[in-house]
Structure 1
Amino acid sequence: MDIVRTPTKSKKRPLLLGGGVVALIATTVALMRLDPAVPTVERAAVLIDTVKQGDLVREVRGPGTLVPEQIRWITAQASARVERLHTESGRTVKLGDVLLELSNPDLQIQTMQAEQQVRQAEIDLLNLRTNLRSAILTQEGTVATMRTQWVSTTQEARAADSLVRMGMVPAFEASNRKAAADEFTTRLRVEQERLTLMRAAIDSQIAVQASRVVQLRAIADNQQARLRSLTVRAPEIGVLQELTLQLGQWVPEGTTLAKVVQPGKLKAVLRIPESQAKDVQIGQTASIDTRNGLVTGRVARKDPSALQGSVVIDIALTGALPAGAVPDLSIDGTVVIDRLQNVLHTGRPATGASTGTSSVFRLESDGRTAVRVPVVLGRASVNSIEVLSGLSAGDRIIISDLSSFATADKLRIR
């Protein structure tokens, strides 16, 4: 008969499973202890510079334009309409050349009215002088009459007083003649004072009317000047610019009609970033790149405030201008602000601070890896910066923008 046999349980499988778990754990621990993968950058994609020991010229740079040193703006003295154009922008003009003609009938009428008011005021002044002189002459005649009557009544009073003592004239008649003499004495004094007041007042009355004539004459002269300004003339020798008016165009008072510039007298106006402009001082040397040559100059003026993140610097040009240097030409300017003697310096890192503690990637001796090292940077220039500590002369560092590797401490250079 068949015998049923129970299979024997194997003890090797638990042993095999236990060994696999141990190996898995060991592998996991080993992987956890591994360093993260080192990022790789292409050598052609980074800019490498060498730390040097020597002199460092600190410079600041900014864009700008060439601007005439002397600009004469021509503005409309009165509202008018453009009737005729005698020249155009870009032409060389001489003093007194007619540039354009304007017209304003209302201004002509106002000028004539102002002249009429002046003439009327002059006539009033003449009449006033005549009337005052006539009044004085009349008063002088009155004073003379009063003096004659005073003399006559005084003599009669004296005679009557003598006759009273002789008994030839009654006392009341002598008293009446004395009263008449006293009356004419008072009247003579009053008329003399009136004459004095009239003579004193004549000058003030004439002065008031004369000042009115002067005032109206000034108004009339101003109107005449505005009328003459309708014929626009060149105020000086130079090149005419920005004459863009058209025939029939209405020009309000104060509108800029054109400007006259001196093309041979130019200056450079630079816009220096406000973070760098603090070290710019009057008198520092500068170099202006006109895209057609370099021109030397010196800082002549510095704006006291910043505008839209930059400070305006005026450069007086001391060198000869190259061909093609014209007003409003775009330029680049560099200002030398300091010269450092025998300092450690390198190219300015794209992501490094201008001053203070930072970090850069320094290449190892094999040139295939770069390690992040802390550095202390000092005074900076446009393209260079002083190294205070952290690097040595001959070290090679990456100065390109590596902000995408901000968390990496090591790079592989391929």
Structure 2
Amino acid sequence: MDRKITPSRGPAIKNAVIATLLGLVLASAAYALSHGDSDRVQQRVDSATLMVTTVQAGAFEDTLRLRGSIKPKTSIYLDAISGGRVEQKLVEQGEFVTEGQPLVKLSNSALQLDVISREAQITEQLNFLRNTQMTMETNKLNLKRDLLEIEHQINQLQRKVKQAIALEKRDLIPKDDLLNLQQDLSYYQKRRQLTQERQQAENLIRQAQITQLEDSAKMLDTNLAFARQNLDNLLVKAPVSGYLSDLDVVVGESKTKGARLGQIDLPGEYKLAVEVDEYYLSQVQLGMAAKVRVNGRLIDAITTKIDSRVNASRFTVEIDLPGDLAGIKRGQSLDVDLVLSSPQDNAVLLNKGAFVNDSGGHWAFVLSSDGHQAHRTAIRLGKKNATVFQVLEGLKPGDRVITSSYSSFDNADELLLN
């Protein structure tokens, strides 16, 4: 009986191993041929695609380039002192208004009724005060009249007593009549003294009451004037002259007491509001110098306010602008350089470029003297401004550095330039 013979796999495996080893040998030979004896990774690059910058020596200005928005230096807000319904809009947003010019007319029936009620109450109270004063004057006059009558009685009794004494000595009248007259005279004299004391006491009390009544009358008049002023406030007027930059009112809508109606900006006074990264919060100081670019020229200015509240990793700095600047408007954006420190002379400077995004500023490709090669060189960068880095180590003036992006260099150590 015939038997099937299975071919052995040993020779095939042997051949595969030999082919793999041969491939590794050929790859190693190719790598050695292309790189020679050096371990450095080389890469050929077209020099036309590179940006090369020469390291310079000069003064380094520690500035921070930012962009700010022009805002009015002084703004006056318009609020509804007395709430009400918007009846009439007398001006439009953006117009120049003068002090005292009517802007918005409101109506408030409840306030009008309240003022009328207050006027009635205050008028009634004033009338009561006047009546009280009249009563006090009447009592004063009555007291004077009583005192006058008492004086009259005393004078008559004194005359009768004198006559009676003479008649009694001649026994022409009974002695009891003389005693009665003397008793009546003594009574009216004591009554006169009591009336005078009462008059003095009432004068003091009356003077204090008159002072209180006059103060009450003044207070009532003040309250009435205040109530009428609330009614007058329904006609909103411009508190100052300036540009009405905002007017948020629509005829027919209701505005509550204290609601914001608009804003008036004083003319010729502007400031620059700049948002700065919170990294510079400790470096920015009041009075710090700034250079603002306006219509192609640099304007010297200083920081006047720092709002240290951080919002979305940024804080706000305000810079006052000269009042004689022409051609600027509210909301316009301007470039500004904040001068963080004094200029440093004889610094090593390297132009800014995309290379720092790939190297982190720790290394850069420096061209050889013949310009055919670029070697990876360790460097250390310091401060930066809008255009240059301050080089602390690794470069010297005259070195040529590739400052374009390194993202396509595949971790090369040396570039061969075509």
Query: Normalising by structure 1, what TM-score?
Result: 0.72
Q: Secondary structure at the match of 1:90?
A: coil
Gaps of 5+ in 2: 1-16
Find the counterpart in structure 2 of residue 315 from structure 1: 320
Q: Residues 316 and 159 (structure 1 numbering): CA distance in 2 closer, same or farther, change over 3 Å?
A: farther
Find the counterpart in structure 2 of residue 298 from structure 1: 301
Q: Secondary structure at the match of 1:142?
A: helix
- Asked whether the equivalents of residues 298 and 318 of structure 1 are also in contact (C-alpha less than 8 Å), the reply is no
Query: Is 160-169 or 277-286 further displaced after alignment?
Result: 160-169
Instruction: Give the letter aligned to residue 332 of structure 2.
Output: L
Q: Secondary structure at the match of 1:67?
A: strand
Q: Residues 184 and 242 (structure 1 numbering): CA distance in 2 closer, same or farther, change over 3 Å?
A: same
Within a 5 Å distance, the mapping from 1:25-36 to structure 2 comes to 35=39
Find 2:132's aligned residue among 128, 134, 139: 128
Q: Is structure 2 residue 119 aligned with structure 1 residue 79?
A: no
**How many aligned positions are there?**
379
Distance 1:79 1:201 in 2: 46
What are the Cα deviations for residues 321-358 of structure 1, in whole angstroms up to 9, with x where unaligned? 33xx32122333223343223323334577979xxx97
Find 2:256's aligned residue among 252, 266, 272: 252
Instruction: Give the letter aligned to residue 362 of structure 2.
Output: S
Within a 5 Å distance, the mapping from 1:365-404 to structure 2 comes to 365=368, 366=371, 368-375=373-380, 377=382, 379-397=383-401
- Asked whether the equivalents of residues 41 and 411 of structure 1 are also in contact (C-alpha less than 8 Å), the reply is no
Deviation at 1:79, TM superposition (A): 1.2
Gaps of 5+ in 1: 1-16
Within a 5 Å distance, the mapping from 1:159-174 to structure 2 comes to 169=175
Q: Is structure 2 residue 180 aligned with structure 1 residue 195?
A: no
Find the counterpart in structure 1 of residue 333 from structure 2: 330
Q: Could you tell me the percent identity over the aligned residues?
A: 20
Distance 2:183 2:42 in 1: 139
What are the Cα deviations for residues 54-75 of structure 1, in whole angstroms up to 9, with x where unaligned? 1122222322211123323222
Q: Is structure 2 residue 281 aligned with structure 1 residue 261?
A: no
Instruction: Give the letter aligned to residue 271 of structure 2.
Output: K
Distance 1:89 1:374 in 2: 58
Q: Is structure 2 residue 293 aligned with structure 1 residue 288?
A: yes
- Asked whether the equivalents of residues 286 and 315 of structure 1 are also in contact (C-alpha less than 8 Å), the reply is no
Q: Is structure 2 residue 50 aligned with structure 1 residue 54?
A: no
Within a 5 Å distance, the mapping from 1:194-273 to structure 2 comes to 194-273=198-277
Q: Residues 211 and 48 (structure 1 numbering): CA distance in 2 closer, same or farther, change over 3 Å?
A: farther
Q: Residues 99 and 318 (structure 1 numbering): CA distance in 2 closer, same or farther, change over 3 Å?
A: closer
Distance 2:43 2:198 in 1: 114
Within a 5 Å distance, the mapping from 1:37-48 to structure 2 comes to 37=41
Distance 2:50 2:161 in 1: 132
Distance 1:88 1:393 in 2: 62
Q: Is structure 2 residue 111 aligned with structure 1 residue 107?
A: yes
Find the counterpart in structure 2 of residue 363 from structure 1: 366
Query: Normalising by structure 2, what TM-score?
Result: 0.71
Q: Residues 335 and 321 (structure 1 numbering): CA distance in 2 closer, same or farther, change over 3 Å?
A: farther
- Asked whether the equivalents of residues 76 and 252 of structure 1 are also in contact (C-alpha less than 8 Å), the reply is yes
Deviation at 1:387, TM superposition (A): 3.3
**C-alpha RMSD over aligned residues:** 4.6
Q: Is structure 2 residue 51 aligned with structure 1 residue 68?
A: no
Deviation at 1:184, TM superposition (A): 5.4
